[in-house]
Amino acid sequence: MDRFIIHGGKKLQGTVHISGSKNAALPILVATLLTDEPCVLHRVPNLRDVRTTLKILEYLGKKVEYKNNTVTITADGVLKNTLPYELVKQMRASFWVAGPLLARFKTAEIPLPGGCAIGVRPVDIHLKGFEKLGAECDIKSGNVMIHAPELTPAKIVLRFPSVGATQNLLMCACLIPGETILENVAKEPEVDDVIAFLNKMGADIRVGDKGQLIVQGKTALHGAEHTVVADRIETGSYILAACATRGDVTVTGCVPEHNSILLEDLQEAGFTLDITEDSVRVHSYGGDIKPVRVRTAPYPGFATDLQAPWMTLMTLCNGTAEVDEDIFENRFMHAPELVRMGANISTEKSVARVTGVKELSAAHVQASDLRGGMALVIAGLCAAGETEVERVYHIDRGYEKLEEKLTALGADIRRYNPEKNEF
């Protein structure tokens, strides 16, 4: 397995351009299952999860061409409505095919999905929504069996504003004639991007005056062309890396509004930011990093996917900061690894108390999940000496060309394969 070798202690300097959003690209790719007509998607990041999704589409019967971050998807025979565990186990987002397949076939069989080990993240919200639409759902031998003699429009109130369930149910409802209303839905920018693509395909989705999503279902959708929105988590990660290393970095091609809470918190912590419509510049800062308490919450709150990188920054604050993780349980697995690097962190249930230290020390650590892995990379960039980060396959799931982008900013980071003993 590859690992990163980082020689830290250098301030990041320069400009970095943000890739398309992984969390928008994956459901948009899946949404192409709703039509047999060609779809062209631009700014699709070349990531492990994206490549897995493309394999899933090919397995289900699509022809896929992927070049220079543009994906062209066309029909290639009869679609299937089942997936093998070998594909599903690699990524939780694979379950999103359930909505389109159910809409088109009135039946689907999908193994329970895998992904990062950051908590249960149940699919019951998806299933209860499908049941409201007329489906019967059973779990047998690790497989989710969904069957509907007839699908009918309905009013669905999600018990939690789940991003995945919102997108899955939207895709299904698009091909159910009549009016379906989804309430207590996720409001993340990635959901908005999926809606924009579905509407380009001929769907009729609008936001009601109380934030509900109103879908006028159609009998068929057509092909469309779309450019994926900028990745707000990658954006936030590079901004935090710049702050942690006390660097001077301009992040371009982003949507700062999507990270407004993070930017406000960074300014409260003492950093000076120049914010435009599509860029954020972090100015080099030599003062104390002030402790700031954050609590993760559904958008527009503080993003749970930025909690781990934020914690790395707070390890260097002057004082004690608290991090409340209110979205996922078991999402502090990076904390013990940061402690190995000299951080002072204590955790109790969903709260981490981070008392700042003057500096972090290089160490041999391992990533337990995608965003926790990025937190360790940022820590390695700050720590003098050589840090070795194992299990970078987690990080590869969400950051396109990470070592290339960081190297361009002046970081000393290299990918190393110990089995081949080569960089």
Active site amino acids: 116
Distance CA 310, CA 329 (A): 17
CB 259 within 8 A of CB 232: yes
Task: Tell me the CA distances in angstroms from 395 to 21, 49, 309, one per residue in order.
Answer: 15, 11, 12
Question: How big is the CA angle at 274 (ends 235 and 320), to the nearest 5 degrees?
Answer: 70
Distance CA 278, CA 250 (A): 10
The sign one gets for the Cα dihedral 381, 382, 385, 387 is: negative
The tokens for 341 are 């690097």
Distance CA 210, CA 77 (A): 42
Long-range contacts of 396-399 (CB under 8 A, 24+ apart): 396/47, 396/48, 397/22, 397/47, 397/48, 397/49, 397/91, 397/116, 397/370, 398/22, 398/47, 398/49, 398/233, 398/234, 398/370, 398/371, 398/374, 399/47, 399/234, 399/237, 399/374
DSSP labels, 26-91:
HHHHHHGGG-SS-EEEES----HHHHHHHHHHHHHTEEEEEETTEEEEEE-SPPP-B--HHHHTT-
The DSSP H or E segment spanning 229 is none
DSSP labels, 79-106:
PP-B--HHHHTT-GGGGGGHHHHHHHHS
The number of residues making up the chain comes to: 423
Distance CA 79, CA 100 (A): 11
Distance CA 314, CA 129 (A): 39
**Chain CA centroid to CA 178, Å:** 32
CB 6 within 8 A of CB 384: no
Task: Give residue 20's identity as a one-letter amino acid code.
Answer: G
